A and B are shown apart, each in its own frame.
Chain A
Amino acid sequence: MQLKKRYQPGPVSTSLALATCALLGVPAMAEEADKWQVDGSMLLYSETDRVSAIEPVIKASRTFKNESKLDLKLTVDSLTGSSHNGAAVTNGPQTFTSPSGNKVYQINAGDVPLDDSFLDTRVALSGQYSWLLNRTLRATSGINFSNEYDFFSVGANAGLNWDLNQRNTTLSFLLGLESDTIEPVGGVPEALSLQPDQLRTDSSESRTVTDVLLGWTQVMNRRWIMQLNYNLSLASGYMTDPYKVVTLTDGAGTALESESLGGVDIGIGDAQIFEQRPDSRTRHALYWENRYSRENDDVIAIGYRFMTDDWGINSHTLDMKYRWQLDRGWFLQPHVRYYIQSEADFWYESMTAPEYTTVLASNDYASGDYRLGKLTDLTVGLKVGRELPSGRKWDARLEFMQQSGDTDAADVSAVIGQVGYRFYW
């Protein structure tokens, strides 16, 4: 079954997607050269008893007659619900302040401490342009902005894709710079201080992230293509989550009292300290993707990623899809994703008073964020779609994700639903 050839790269991964297109010698079809390809998609994400999100995205892409390409993308991300505040599940009730510090809330014994004031809307804009420097060399450059109530990010990237061996090999180089500004509700908390004291150091913080990505895309044979990427990421600045705390306990599962440590008393079990993470992070990620088309046009896609960083987190991700190609453009695509990570060196489920004294004295790092602890995630899902003869296309997917770790806070179940439609304009 011969299908139409279409481009649909993503904003940051655009350069590699373009590299692959160039590698395959996919020509811009005449009808595409005169029209915008518009992809609209809506994501619905819902966790049991926690966060829900609605995320509409619209993306417009155009290939010009000189083979240069432009991608524009608008994302709106609306979140609401409850989020784990970093504290441990304890034997007795606990008391916390809201992010602004103006309100107090209690969590019952045995319950996962969730802050139910989580509400935000993110708007992100990005543009990516690529053009041919010569027959085998393509340059790409892009910018992106993202804004939320307490966070602003601006980024830029530039790169080169070089075709070799009759376009059977493409080597890619991509450099990205990002600058983030964080303005926490209520101000920046003083790290490692007791939450009831509400000590604030400043109104905002910032960080920068530099990314380098080296890619090798290789046609193996008529049915098999492979991509191998190495990504180095260097982050510097404020990496702490200003809304997360670590619970101080007696070592037997009961939260201590703030006043017993010289702090303000706001209620029972209120010895919670603001977390502190390192002000730099170096990540190395190796990503390997293989795509193989069977004789009947079904496609097997297997991706594997290994990531390691200087916070002590190592992770393995395995992602498998099987595209079952049916008649008249219909397809079904089962998906399985498995993820496992080790904990960061400074992750604590909870901390005792002597541990706190030691960490405080050495201004060391501490976080109870379950996302930095041991994690095992499993996602299974199914996508169905149809490519129409006119080049239009629609698809829908439904997936279920289950997270688990060493604490109850890590037990998260989520449903992911998405519908998408493509047309030419």
Chain B
Amino acid sequence: MRVLTLLGCLLLVSGCQNLGVNPWEREVLAREAMIPGVADGLDDAFDDHIYFSKEGSSGGRGFGGGGCGCN
């Protein structure tokens, strides 16, 4: 299992070598609106807290419910 996981990681990383851009091609990507977890600022934490306390699911984007007794 460990060998398979390692093999999967190696394949993943080697596959990624064909993706991406050069350092001088990052102008669009460096915009705040393009950065996951940053683009929407505090909205993400507000939303995670709202939906954690109103639904049976949480996690994925980050983790934890922000230490809340609401669920």
Contacts and interface: CB of A to CB of B under 8 A. Distances in A.
Contacts of A168: 16, 19-21
A63 to B, nearest CB: 13
Interface of B: 12-13, 16-17, 19-23, 25-47, 49-51, 54-64, 66-69, 71
B44 to A, nearest CB: 5
Given A16-B36, A321-B40, A222 B61 contact: no
Contacts of B58: 233, 283, 285, 307
A144 interface: yes
Query: Which among B38, B50, B63, B64 has the greatest number of chain A C-beta atoms within 10 A?
Result: B63
Contacts, number: 249
B20 A286 contact: no
Interface residues of A, number: 108
A231 B69 contact: no
11 contacts: A5-B30, A6-B38, A25-B26, A57-B45, A148-B69, A169-B13, A169-B19, A221-B20, A222-B26, A241-B71, A285-B57
Contacts of A209: 64
B68 A122 contact: yes
B17 to A, nearest CB: 5
Given A8-B41, A24-B30, A218-B20, A153 B67 contact: yes
A166 B34 contact: no
Contacts of A164: 13, 16
A375 B51 CA distance: 12
Interface in A302-321: 303, 305, 307, 311, 313, 315, 317, 321
A286 B63 CA distance: 12
A155 B19 contact: no
Contacts of A155: 64, 67
B2 to A, nearest CB: 15
Contacts of B13: 164-165, 169
Chain B contact residues, majority secondary structure:
loop
Contacts of B12: 216
A186 interface: no
Given A124-B66, A145-B67, A164-B16, A222 B36 contact: no
Chain A contact residues, majority secondary structure:
strand
Contacts of A26: 30, 35
Interface stretch (A85-93, A176-184, A194-202, A258-266): A176-184
Contacts of B35: 17, 20-21, 24, 26, 225, 291
Nearest to A229: B60
B59 A283 contact: yes
A262 to B, nearest CB: 32
Contacts of B34: 24, 225, 291, 293, 299
A349 B17 CA distance: 52
Interface in A125-159: 144-146, 148, 150-151, 153-155
A287 B61 contact: yes
A223 interface: yes
Contacts of A293: 28-29, 31, 33-34
Contacts of B60: 229, 231, 285-287, 305, 307, 317
B41 A176 contact: no
B33 to A, nearest CB: 5
B46 A43 contact: yes
Given A13-B61, A307-B57, A25 B67 contact: no
A16 B66 CA distance: 16
A7 B38 contact: yes
Contacts of A111: none
Nearest to B40: A321
A225 B69 contact: no
Query: Which among A4, A13, A167 has the greatest number of chain B C-beta atoms within 10 A?
Result: A13
Contact of B45 (A10, A331, A341): A10
Contacts of B23: 25, 166-167
B40 to A, nearest CB: 7
